[in-house]
Structure 1
């Protein structure tokens, strides 16, 4: 079979777009099947007598169209059979299953009662702007002023002009990435990172570069090396316990990362959804590099899951980009939910729930120590989860399946993997998604599986 190759005589101006169209037609016609490895930028540029920049732009356009994917260190591949990434958690709780797969705060009936009370208050006090206006600048000036107060508790003191009110952390993360990482660009992140970031990179057309981590998270030297050898546009980091390995980055490390980013002039996206829940933490990375850091936090995982609202702080250079991308993806945050968040910040309810959550997590961390002992797992006193490396020859797939057969759902570690570097099998276990009794029972199942010999599942035929 003859391997298809672009015809240089058919290339017209603009050359990158003409070249991308040739590849697109060949992919649609089946001449370049799924998984085909494309020539390197330099090789194709030499063969077609084009510049490397022209070929790179053509490949970026194909990534934007969803026709190819770029993999760091491996090359570019045709992507016609898009496979949706499965979330690491169960989409719904089934029967009597103890669900330790989804990351949730501890919740009790009290949380629902507080939301009901807030909705009752809102019924009598809803401002006309929040109920009737389409213009974000009409709705949110007061909310942004209140946001300054909450962000101060997170370790920042931004101007309200730099704050966007968002529909939670996912909306903030998406807008931030769209603002700094155009299609075809590369974003560095933790080698074990945010599971949503992986499919989001595919949907938005940028590449991920997983960086080496240690007990504090990203190693600054790894980021520096990536910036010197690759075209890194931004680094995405979760330095405060919410990352899969539940690690807390120290202040010196945060300052060092900020300095690397400044030296290479890249943006920083900092996810801090636990905010003031984490005690005695250093200032955010945004404190050390305010001129290039897009910082976001939210209320969902520290107050009540239904309070889907958050704040995105952008430096002056990105304020317009953030505003525009927020408009086209969300238009604006839901004003009614923002009203409740603002009320809770002002009257102290939000911080009251943070303190309650901290105490509830302390009790659950005690259960972890009682059931699992002082094992090799990673966690933090204010973590909503723990990270459990699997010993010996155990595989994630088998371990997760065996736990499921015994009525416990957990999240496989591979769902958080962003690098092809040496991988040690592990699972993530949520501590807040069930009652204390269910947590104890679920951890008991996991402890017994860890002590037993690894088993392979046998399928009846």
Structure 2
């Protein structure tokens, strides 16, 4: 990438309103500092200490005030934005959000879409599917359901593992990823995050060790901490989790559980080759470690053998339709070893009771009549088109050079420039991207890298504007960013 050195112009900053009087109270907080800062911010917002419109301290100022790194503050503000507490305005900083709902009677749905731009900001930090023909398909299916004489079967209580037809649909959906299982080994869940929760609550106990990639999905690490699990990072390379590092971690003894994403790892986009998958499976079986295999993005990298097929008695396979179809359909699936089906069903009963039967019915119909396949193919084509825009504007290598086209791009910042500075420069230009620190597991320093989500933009025009601004921010770098 050929980008000449330049300085991003930053408009003069207005005087903060109320932020000078606020300092996060970190006393009594366990766990990561960034979560303690985000929790303190949430409490200040809820208590009226930070009313809507308050401009928060800059990342650097708050880091100095608290005696922490800028990366910790960046991660805390990213978490606050994810919770819908804050947002940014071009050239001015980070502000406490006010109410953002569509009023009843205005013709729109009541709710908040935290992924949409607010105040001119373009959010390229959230992985969500692009939207197109899904809404028309949903309207048609809802109309067909409404015309049925009896909706009782999808409006009442269901068996916690799901209705037989919905479990069969789950088996068919996972077959697309290469998992051959039977409906009696499938549990229908309320999305992949619910599947993660059920899986870990079923097999692990507080104090158990959960091994996961050194850079991992923040929702998983947050869940593990709340379940009292001890998180241990396992080193990554270009193919994801390294088998030698997993072997070394498993030698520690005690109950060992492994959470990993072999296909399009989040955030690095790494995809394991067949030999790597075999090696990982062998390590797990040798040490009797149970793996939870996350395949939520796997539809973008088909043709690989799932760990669930290489080590079926040592793997819980979890996935959902959120990325391939639409996130509002809170439907996920688990494929389990036979011995774990009943315990997982009891966990589902004790926590969620059941996945929403109406949602599961919609997805089952789509899987059965080909709608799910059609929408998935559309999503793949759309993501490819968005990657082409990124390849052009950020001068990235294409698939012929081995890059996987996924929902996000992972960029390593080299030659002395810090990822936090790139994130700040992009924010000043009205673009949110996620630093590597947001995904770091353990206390090691995160790599100087950023994750750029291509799917969150409303359309190609918004994406192009966001990436153009990001390219301008990257011109501050002494040299070009290199793709990992």
Q: Give structure 2 stretches of 5+ with no counterpart.
A: 1-25, 40-75, 85-113, 479-484
Given the alignment of the two structures, is residue 202 of structure 1 paired with residue 225 of structure 2, yes or no?
A: yes
> 1:339 is matched with which residue?
361
380-389 or 336-345, larger mean C-alpha shift: 380-389
Q: Which has the higher helix share?
A: 1
> 2:471 is matched with which residue?
447
- Residue 406 of structure 2: SS of its match in structure 1? coil
> 2:3 is matched with which residue?
none
> 2:407 is matched with which residue?
384
Question: Residue deviations 1:176-205, cap 9 Å, x none?
Answer: 111222100111010011111221122110
Total equivalences in the alignment: 380
- Residue 291 of structure 1: SS of its match in structure 2? helix
- Note the C-alpha offset of 1:254: 0.8
Q: Equivalent of 2:79, from 83, 87, 91?
A: 87
> 1:355 is matched with which residue?
377
TM-score by length of 1: 0.77
- Residue 218 of structure 2: SS of its match in structure 1? coil
Given the alignment of the two structures, is residue 160 of structure 1 paired with residue 183 of structure 2, yes or no?
A: yes
Q: How does 1:296-375 map to 2 (within 5 A)?
A: 296-374=318-396
- Do the aligned residues in 1 keep the contact of 2:30 with 2:36 (CA within 8 Å)? no
Q: How does 1:46-195 map to 2 (within 5 A)?
A: 84=39, 87=79, 90=82, 91=84, 92=114, 93-108=117-132, 110-125=133-148, 127-136=151-160, 140-195=163-218
Change (3 A) 1:341 1:89: farther
TM-score by length of 2: 0.73
- Do the aligned residues in 1 keep the contact of 2:213 with 2:236 (CA within 8 Å)? yes
Question: Residue deviations 1:219-277, cap 9 Å, x none?
Answer: 00101101112535210001111420011111111111111011100100000012433
> 2:481 is matched with which residue?
none
- Do the aligned residues in 1 keep the contact of 2:160 with 2:345 (CA within 8 Å)? no
Change (3 A) 1:453 1:145: closer
- Residue 251 of structure 2: SS of its match in structure 1? helix
- Do the aligned residues in 2 keep the contact of 1:165 with 1:309 (CA within 8 Å)? yes
- Residue 208 of structure 1: SS of its match in structure 2? strand
Higher relative contact order (CA 8 A, sep 6+): 2
> What is the distance in 2 between the residues matched to 1:386 and 1:159?
35
- Do the aligned residues in 2 keep the contact of 1:186 with 1:208 (CA within 8 Å)? yes
Query: What is the alpha-carbon root mean square deviation over aligned residues?
Result: 2.7
> What is the distance in 2 between the residues matched to 1:371 and 1:82?
35
- Note the C-alpha offset of 1:369: 1.3
Change (3 A) 1:383 1:89: farther
Larger Rg computed on CA atoms: 1
- Note the C-alpha offset of 1:135: 3.8
Question: Residue deviations 1:391-423, cap 9 Å, x none?
Answer: 233333332222111111111211111133353
Q: Give structure 1 stretches of 5+ with no counterpart.
A: 1-32, 36-66, 72-76, 455-461
- Note the C-alpha offset of 1:372: 1.1
- Note the C-alpha offset of 1:425: 1.6
Q: Equivalent of 1:395, from 418, 443, 449?
A: 418
